Amino acid sequence: MVHSLTRKSGLFIFSYSPKLKALVSWTDNAASILGVKDSAISRDGNLFLRHVHPDDRFIIMNDLEKTLLGKQDYSASYRWIRPDTNETRWLHCRAYCNGEDEAALIEGIIIDLTDEFTGSIIQLAGPDSTATVLAAIPRMVITIDSDLRLLRINRNKQDQSFNFGDSDFIDKDFSVGKPVLDCFKDKNKREQFENIFKSLFERTQDHIQQRIETDGKVFRLEMEPLIEQEAVKGLLLLVTDITEIVKMETQLAQLQKNEGLRLLAAGVAHHFNNSLQSIIGQAAIISSQANNPKLVRNAADSIQEIVSRTSELSRQLFVFDDSSKNVHVPVDLNISTMAAVNKVDGLFASDIKVSVNFGTIQPVLANQDTLVEALVEILKNAKESVIDGGNISIVTYEKHLKANRVPELTEGNYICVAISDTGKGMDEHTIQKCFDPFFTTKTKDLHTGVGIKDPGLGLSKALTILKNFNGGIRIKSNKLEGTTVYMYLPLTDGGIPAIDEESSIKIGTTDAPEVLIIDDDRLVLQTLEAMIRDMGFRAATSDGFRSALSVVRQHGRTLKLVLLDAVMPGMNGAAVLRRIRKIEPDLKVIGFSGAPNEHTQPLLEAGAVSLLRKPVSPAVLKSEIEKVLGTEVPKTFQQAIAI
Q: What are phi and psi of 220, to 5 degrees?
A: -110, 120
Instruction: Give percent of the chain with pLDDT exceeding 70.
Output: 77
Instruction: Say if 2-118 and 328-499 have the same CATH topology.
Output: no
Is the per-residue pLDDT at 491 higher than 70? yes
Domain boundaries, the chain: 2-118, 130-241, 328-499, 506-642
What whole-number distance in Å separates Cα of residue 578 and Cα of residue 571?
11
Query: Which distant-in-sequence residues (6+ apart) come within 8 Å of 164 by Cβ?
Result: 184, 189, 193, 212, 221
User: What pTM did the predictor assign?
Assistant: 0.37
Is the per-residue pLDDT at 124 higher than 80? no
pLDDT of residue 2: 55
Give Cα 277 distance to the centre of its chain.
40
Contact criterion met (CB below 8 Å) for 522 and 497: no
Contact criterion met (CB below 8 Å) for 13 and 2: yes
Task: Identify the three-state secondary structure at position 97.
Answer: strand
What whole-number distance in Å separates Cα of residue 98 and Cα of residue 351?
85
Indicate the fold that domain 130-241 takes in CATH: Beta-Lactamase (3.30.450)
Task: Identify the three-state secondary structure at position 309.
Answer: helix
Is the per-residue pLDDT at 454 higher than 80? no
Q: How far is CA 553 from CA 251, 502, 525, 527, 589, in A?
A: 55, 18, 20, 25, 15
pLDDT, tens digit, 9 for 90 and up, residues 132-164: 666 667 788 888 988 898 888 876 544 557 889
Q: Whose CA is closest to 306, among 593, 524, 519?
A: 524
Contact criterion met (CB below 8 Å) for 600 and 612: no
What whole-number distance in Å separates Cα of residue 401 and Cα of residue 621?
47
Is the per-residue pLDDT at 534 higher than 50? yes
Class of domain 2-118: alpha beta
Indicate the fold that domain 506-642 takes in CATH: Rossmann fold (3.40.50)
Contact criterion met (CB below 8 Å) for 169 and 163: yes
Q: Which tops the pLDDT comparison, 458 or 111?
A: 111
Query: Which distant-in-sequence residues (6+ apart) come within 8 Å of 203 by Cβ?
Result: 225, 232
How many CA atoms, within 13 angstroms, populate the side-chain half-sphere of residue 616?
24
pLDDT of residue 248: 82
What whole-number distance in Å separates Cα of residue 431 and Cα of residue 433?
6
pLDDT band at 269 (very low <50, low <70, confident <90, very high): low
Amino acid residing at 608: A
What whole-number distance in Å separates Cα of residue 312 and Cα of residue 268?
12
Q: Which of 150-154, 547-551, 589-593 has the lowest mean pLDDT?
A: 150-154
Give the Cβ contact number of residue 489 at 10 Å: 25
What whole-number distance in Å separates Cα of residue 604 and Cα of residue 400?
41
pLDDT, tens digit, 9 for 90 and up, residues 403-447: 778 877 888 899 999 999 988 888 877 777 776 654 565 544 333
pLDDT, tens digit, 9 for 90 and up, residues 314-350: 554 444 444 444 567 788 888 888 888 888 876 666 6
Kindly report the average pLDDT of the chain as a whole number: 77
Query: Which distant-in-sequence residues (6+ apart) come within 8 Å of 503 by Cβ?
Result: 522, 542, 543, 544, 547
Indicate the fold that domain 328-499 takes in CATH: Heat Shock Protein 90 (3.30.565)
What whole-number distance in Å separates Cα of residue 128 and Cα of residue 419?
51
pLDDT, tens digit, 9 for 90 and up, residues 611-643: 988 778 888 888 899 899 887 655 444 433 433
Strands 588-593 and 561-565, by their bridges, are parallel
Please compute the mean of the pLDDT values over residues 300-319 and round it to a whole number: 66
Q: Which of 41-45, 107-111, 398-402, 491-495 has the lowest mean pLDDT?
A: 491-495
Q: In what order do the strands lie in the sheet with 610-613?
A: 506-507, 539-542, 515-518, 561-565, 588-593, 610-613
